[in-house]
Chains A and B, each alone.
Chain A
Amino acid sequence: MEHTKFTPQSWPDKPEQATMEGKNKFVGIWIFICSDITLFASVFATYLSLKDKGPAGMEYSAAELFELPLAFVMTMLLLTSSLTSVYAMYHMKNYNFKGVQIWMSITVLLGLGFLALEIYEFYHYVHDGFGYTQSAFSSAFFTLVGTHGLHVVIGLVWILCLIFRNAGRGLNLYNAPKYYAASIFWHFIDVVWVFIFTVVYLMGVLG
């Protein structure tokens, strides 16, 4: 069934749920997101307890450290990448494989841009003495934002694998759920970033 030849008209409305394996992946990615939410919630709670806490005479604080303009650009990149992944799913619903591949590729490029800026930001902090082991605050900051960054890396590798793997195969009911699951994961990463931007950067600088 997975390799039946389709036309845009015969392609199912919800291709990611048209097979049993597809339905399983659909429910599965949402349940996985639930567990990932709890993971980030725990790290957020740890961060909030340790914000600005360090050894006696601690010189670093959120208010002085974080730069909102950079964080804002990173946010825009990531939010846009979420939008482009929505376009990719739109094309998937309409059986337009080329559209899927192009918009997923743009998503990856925007994600790479985000990552580059984040690496630049971290390098800047470490260079100024605010490294992972400097204090409880620094350990918490890098763990929270770093865990998110790791999720971004995983998401990018995932989407890239899908793009390359399916380049010769085209869209079918076997790989449609895989694209869908990756896009849900990508949206999740974006939502977590909104929280990070708000809780870490905005609340950190504005108090």
Chain B
Amino acid sequence: MSSVAVSKKGFGATVWDYLTTVDHKKLGVMYLLAGTLFFAIAGFEALLMRIQLMVPNNDFVSAGTFNELLTMHGTTMLFLAATPLLFGFMNAVIPLQIGARDVAFPFLNSLGFWMFFLGALFLHLSFFLGGAPDAGWTNYASLALYSPGHGVDFYVLGLQISGAGTLISGINFIVTIITMRAPGMTFMRMPLFTWTSLITSALITFAFPPLTVGLFLMLVDRMFEANFFDHTMGGNTIIWEHLFWIFGHPEVYILVLPAFGLFSEIIPVFARKRLFGYSSMVFATILIGFLGFMVWAHHMFTTGLGATANAIFAVATMAIAVPTGMKVFNWIMTIWGGSVKVTVPMLYALGFIPSFVAGGVTGVMQAAAPLDYQLHDSYFIVAHFHYVIVGGIVTAIFGSMHFYWPIMFNRALSETLGKWTFWIFFIGFHCTFFIQHFLGLMGMPRRVFTYQANQGWDLFNFISSIGAILMAIGVILLVLNIIVSAKSKPLNCRDYWGDGRSLEWAIKTPVPFYNFKQTPLVRGYDPYWLEKHEGNEEGMTYAEPLGEIHMPNNSILPLIMSIGTFVAAFGALYHPDGKSWAIPVLILGLAITVGAMIIRSMKDDLGFHVHVEEIVATEEHLYGKGDNK
């Protein structure tokens, strides 16, 4: 454990601790575990899909099951794997990186996690309760309304709950980064991961509400006989497309910007060189965030919006390539003239650059609307987005696991196993997805559960499926690495990689529950590197004398509030079936949630204070006697 209370805990007490924790470090671990679980599930769904598509006219899974797999694969990977894994890093690292004790709203931080987790659980129960959603992760309105059974209802309700959790966390990080930076850390001295997390959180704040509205409209149309998408009653299915993509495009930047930020931390450390073009990188991040809201209809080029709409969105989409390219050049120039050590995190960074660039350039091709008329809804698109997602985001997550493992767990993942994982996964990734560009160009549409023989697609599909098997092996090795590391020796050191530049490396692991015992003083960009190279080998200069530390209390209420929404969702789900208990259950669930909120508001919760003697005792217990700085 990375944060150790001075007394040892029993199993029950540990479980209770994690159910009630508001500590960003523990929540970071919980996000990482949950995200990894859902990543494995979604990966397994993909493996099943690729086995089905290995040969033409296959009957490994039925058509209906295949549609459920493809829907759950996309939905789970984006909402329930990538987002929580990135949130895991944001939680674990940002407060340390800005020299704070926790986030601005620790209670809400916990609420955000439990809402995400219970929403994810609710969505996955669909497999056992009549079938998963099967209208694609994009859940287009006419098919989604037509789809029989409760699958789509699980999608709507599960994402509504999960999405609320994400929105809460997004607001939390904005406030944290704005108000809780250590003295001396101006905006232009913040590490890039903090910057990208700030912009990501702003994107979340503005992008999730349209999704909330879209899901609500779909909910009332399916469950309460509203008419938003029913054209016989005056409704319009294209409204769903607009609302979904106004969310959906910023969503992909919500995922990729933290990945960019993580690589902007990894590359300077392993190149021993400061990030090239810091202010351009910040500017590019802001521009990408802004432009991300201007391009959503490039997902709708074939919908029939008209030439002018298509023209505007085509040009806007091409524009995003400029700040993104700027970033790639800056990363390359960071490496240029540096001293590069190829550790596992750096290996992922080196693999990321060409892979992401490949994905990015196919994106620019798709931005040319008339070309997109051929490419849209074909395997070319599937290839493109997997290149940017796997090549960009998954490599960042895998690399950052290695990078930040010492801080999060006071252990290191095995470099050897890590290198094997990288190569097997990376080769599998290119094997699967490079060839899919050609399948798309050769006329293969996406979301097809099978294909006829003799259309020229057989060999490429086979090769693509082999790659999937390689990726599965890679992920298994990663999971093995995680399990093995639990048994390895604790590191008990600071600056594990030796060339840490930012504040999170200045603290000795295991990190005490209160983080820095005194708020550090930030004297420039890369503050820890600065201190190290001025001869201060033992950590940071501090901005305040050692004094009482004010910490937030644990609470079970976030879990209870989330359970309330989970219960309410069941009521809403079974209402259209005419079940008499449905509305009472819905009301009960909402009452639990609102009741917990009122209980929370009625009590004063001022946190607790850690006295100086306790701080000294904790530091001694963790690091031994002597001059602990």
**Chain B associates with chain A:** yes
Q: Is there contact, CB below 8 Å, between B228 and A140?
A: yes
Interfacial residues of chain B within 216-241, with CB under 8 A of chain A in the complex: 216-217, 220-221, 224-228, 230, 232-236, 239
B598 in the interface (beta carbon within 8 A): yes
Interfacial residues of chain A within 130-180, with CB under 8 A of chain B in the complex: 132-140, 143, 161, 165, 174
B277 in the interface (beta carbon within 8 A): no
Q: Which residues of chain B come closer than 8 Å to A137, judged between CB atoms? A: 234
Q: Is there contact, CB below 8 Å, between B226 and A161?
A: no
Interfacial residues of chain A within 23-57, with CB under 8 A of chain B in the complex: 23-24, 27-28, 31-32, 34-36, 38-39, 41-43, 45-46, 49-50, 53-55
| Chain B 450-488 interface mask (CB, 8 Å, partner A; 1/0) | 000000000000000000000000000000000000000
Q: How close is B254's CB to chain A, nearest CB, in angstroms?
A: 14
CA distance A203 to B598 in the complex (A): 39
CA distance A191 to B493 in the complex (A): 54
Q: Is there contact, CB below 8 Å, between B174 and A133?
A: no
Q: Which residues of chain B come closer than 8 Å to A65, judged between CB atoms? A: none
Q: How close is A141's CB to chain B, nearest CB, in angstroms?
A: 11
Q: Is there contact, CB below 8 Å, between A165 and B606?
A: no
A2 — nearest CB in chain B belongs to which residue? B606
Q: Which of B205-213, B284-292, B330-338 contacts A (4 or more CB under 8 A)?
A: B205-213
B364 in the interface (beta carbon within 8 A): no
Q: Is there contact, CB below 8 Å, between A35 and B228?
A: no
Interfacial residues of chain B within 42-84, with CB under 8 A of chain A in the complex: none
Q: Is there contact, CB below 8 Å, between A42 and B243?
A: yes
By DSSP majority rule, is chain A's interface helix, strand, loop, or mixed?
helix
Q: Is there contact, CB below 8 Å, between A32 and B171?
A: yes
What is the number of residues of chain A that contact chain B, defined by CB distance less than 8 Å?
A: 37
What is the number of residues of chain B that contact chain A, defined by CB distance less than 8 Å?
A: 44
By DSSP majority rule, is chain B's interface helix, strand, loop, or mixed?
helix
Q: Which of B175-183, B434-442, B572-580 contacts A (4 or more CB under 8 A)?
A: B175-183
| Chain B 162-181 interface mask (CB, 8 Å, partner A; 1/0) | 00000100011011101110
B214 in the interface (beta carbon within 8 A): yes
Interfacial residues of chain B within 562-600, with CB under 8 A of chain A in the complex: 598
B246 in the interface (beta carbon within 8 A): yes
Task: Given A34-B205, A54-B234, check contact A139 B220 (CB 8 Å).
Answer: yes
Q: Which residues of chain A come closer than 8 Å to B308, judged between CB atoms? A: none
Q: Is there contact, CB below 8 Å, between B226 and A58?
A: no
B13 in the interface (beta carbon within 8 A): no
Q: Is there contact, CB below 8 Å, between B239 and A165?
A: no
Contact of A136 among B214, B233, B243 (CB under 8 A): B233
A154 — nearest CB in chain B belongs to which residue? B594
Q: Which residues of chain A come closer than 8 Å to B209, judged between CB atoms? A: 35-36, 38-39, 41-42
A206 in the interface (beta carbon within 8 A): no
Q: Which residues of chain B come closer than 8 Å to A39, judged between CB atoms? A: 209-210, 212-213
Q: Is there contact, CB below 8 Å, between B228 and A28?
A: no
Q: Is there contact, CB below 8 Å, between B171 and A139?
A: no
Q: Which residues of chain A come closer than 8 Å to B172, judged between CB atoms? A: 28
Q: How close is A168's CB to chain B, nearest CB, in angstroms?
A: 12
B120 in the interface (beta carbon within 8 A): no
Q: How close is B564's CB to chain A, nearest CB, in angstroms?
A: 16
Q: How close is B579's CB to chain A, nearest CB, in angstroms?
A: 19
Q: Is there contact, CB below 8 Å, between A46 and B243?
A: yes
CA distance A38 to B227 in the complex (A): 22
B242 — nearest CB in chain A belongs to which residue? A45
Q: Is there contact, CB below 8 Å, between A136 and B606?
A: no
Task: Given A27-B179, A28-B104, check contact A38 B210 (CB 8 Å).
Answer: yes
Q: Which residues of B contact A (CB under 8 A)?
A: 104-105, 167, 171-172, 174-176, 178-180, 205-210, 212-214, 216-217, 220-221, 224-228, 230, 232-236, 239, 242-243, 246, 598, 601-602, 604, 606
Q: Which residues of A contact B (CB under 8 A)?
A: 2, 20, 23-24, 27-28, 31-32, 34-36, 38-39, 41-43, 45-46, 49-50, 53-55, 58, 132-140, 143, 161, 165, 174
Given contacts A42-B214, A143-B216, 5 further A-B contacts (CB under 8 A): A28-B175, A38-B210, A39-B209, A42-B209, A46-B239
